[in-house]
Amino acid sequence: MPELVVTALLAPSRLSLKLLRAFMWSLVFSAALVAAAVYGCIALTHVLCRPRRGCCGRRRSAPPACLSDPSLGDHGFLNLESSGLRLHYVSAGRGNGPLMLFLHGFPENWFSWRFQLREFQSRFHVVAVDLRGYGPSDAPGDVDYYKTDLLLADIKDVILGLGYSKCVLVAHDWGALLAWNFSIYYPSLVERMVVVGGAPMSVYQDYSMRHPGQFFRSNYMFLFQLPWLPEKLLSMSDFQILKTTLAHRKTGIPRLTPNELEAFLYHFSQPGGLTGPINYYRNLFRNFPLEPQELATPTLLLWGEKDIYFELGLVEAIGSRFVPGRLEAHILPGAGHWIPQSHPQEMHQYMWAFLQDLLD
């Protein structure tokens, strides 16, 4: 068929897609402005209630001692082959078994896996990375450096750079979103997957269209589409919004000590420390609409019954995309979003049972 005819036949569908994307972006930025007004009021209230803290975040001069706890492992840096970037990681148990690679979420870092690093280093080589833009890892400034395909290449380079051909991939929140995509595009590098509190983006997209309440739970995503303002609002009153997110009495991480809270805030308080992490969100809607994708990697999915960011219905939606028999899902009663830190014992029990045959 002549190329001119093919182009003419495809023109209506291309126009429809462009119109759909334009409509989507108009909705996204409308929601972003509303979210900015809401979070602006919240940040201003924090400033007025704690005037001594001022409108800016205090830069921490030294990291808290818990970030250097030797029981968690040795610190190192890995130069990535694809990008040339350098990622920071903490490693323990090399030579004890298969690679278990941990991917953190926002607003966290490698330290969010402290319980799992201690638990599994006796039978696995456990490695928790600081993803690009986080902590001591390199943090390119431009938004385009945080596209999903580049982040997936980072994970691939970490696995191969550590000398392995496959791994057990354990992920939470933003790390979970990356892990789902990684299992689709690099299936040979993932032997098993443990996902906590995070859905594939295509599942999230389709579910949210049918359940608008999910958009309200994730309202911060819209704020993060804007330039510079999210960084300013999150840092006001010495990062009070982040402090509330992590340490709230009902919805935060239970029993989080002041030192442990500082382990997350330290790197965010450095110049530009929030821009890299927020750039992940600024790329979220670039590929809308997403096509449904089949999931086939054997996966343990753990979900908090009281997760305030994700509805329980997402668990069933995720299961509907799986090859039968490849997903084991559990909803933890009373748990919120921060299961690796709030319910480590329950998480470990499920993980040992799920991974037992790899160790026999």
Which of the four pLDDT bands, split at 50, 70 and 90, describes residue 56? confident
Mean pLDDT across the chain: 94
Across 85-110, average pLDDT = 97
Print the domain residue range for 142: 65-207+284-358
Can you give the pLDDT at residue 55?
A: 85
Number of domains in the chain: 1
Residue 259 lies in a domain: no
Residue 39 lies in a domain: no
Residue 339 lies in a domain: yes
Can you give the pLDDT at residue 8?
A: 47
Residue 123 lies in a domain: yes
Catalytic member of 134, 204, 220, 281: 281
For residue 5, pLDDT beyond 50? no
Question: The CATH number of the domain where 128 resides is what?
Answer: 3.40.50.1820
Residue 130 lies in a domain: yes
Q: Which helix (H) or strand (E) holds 53?
A: none
Known catalytic residue at 134: no
Of 15-29, 80-94, 197-211, which gets the smallest average pLDDT? 15-29
Catalytic member of 88, 104, 125, 337: 337
Q: Which helix (H) or strand (E) holds 133?
A: none
Can you give the pLDDT at residue 13?
A: 61
Q: Report pTM.
A: 0.94
Residue 274 lies in a domain: no
Q: What is the pLDDT of residues 259-309, one digit of tens each?
A: 999 999 999 999 999 999 999 999 998 888 788 999 999 999 999 999 999
Q: Which long-range contacts (CB under 8 A, 24 or more apart) does 63-70 make?
A: 63/262, 63/263, 63/266, 64/259, 64/260, 64/262, 64/263, 64/266, 65/259, 66/111, 66/114, 66/259, 66/260, 66/263, 67/111, 67/263, 67/266, 69/114
Residue 302 lies in a domain: yes
Known catalytic residue at 154: no
Can you give the pLDDT at residue 26?
A: 84
Task: Report the alpha-carbon distance of residue 171 to residue 161 in Å, rounded.
Answer: 19
Known catalytic residue at 281: yes
Residue 175 lies in a domain: yes
Can you give the pLDDT at residue 91?
A: 98
Reduced 3-state DSSP string for the chain: CCHHHHHHHHHHHHHHHHHHHHHHHHHHHHHHHHHHHHHHHHHHHHHHHCHHHCCCCCCCCCCCHHHHCHHHCEEEEEECCCCCCEEEEEEECCCCCCEEEEECCCCCCHHHHHHHHHHHCCCCEEEEECCCCCCCCCCCCCHHHHCHHHHHHHHHHHHHHCCCCCEEEEEECHHHHHHHHHHHHCHHHEEEEEEECCCCHHHHHHHHHHCCHHHHHCCHHHHCCCCCHHHHHHHHHHHHHHHHHHHCCCCCCCCCCHHHHHHHHHHHCCCCCCHHHHHHHHCCCCCCCCCCCCECCCEEEEEECCCCCCCCHHHHHHHCCECCCCEEEEEECCCCCCHHHHCHHHHHHHHHHHHHHHHC
Beta strand 125-129 with 167-172: parallel, antiparallel or unpaired?
Answer: unpaired
DSSP-assigned letter for residue 105: -
Which of the four pLDDT bands, split at 50, 70 and 90, describes residue 15? low
For residue 10, pLDDT beyond 50? no
Q: 108 or 2: whose pLDDT is higher?
A: 108
Which of the four pLDDT bands, split at 50, 70 and 90, describes residue 3? low
Catalytic member of 130, 138, 173, 206: 173
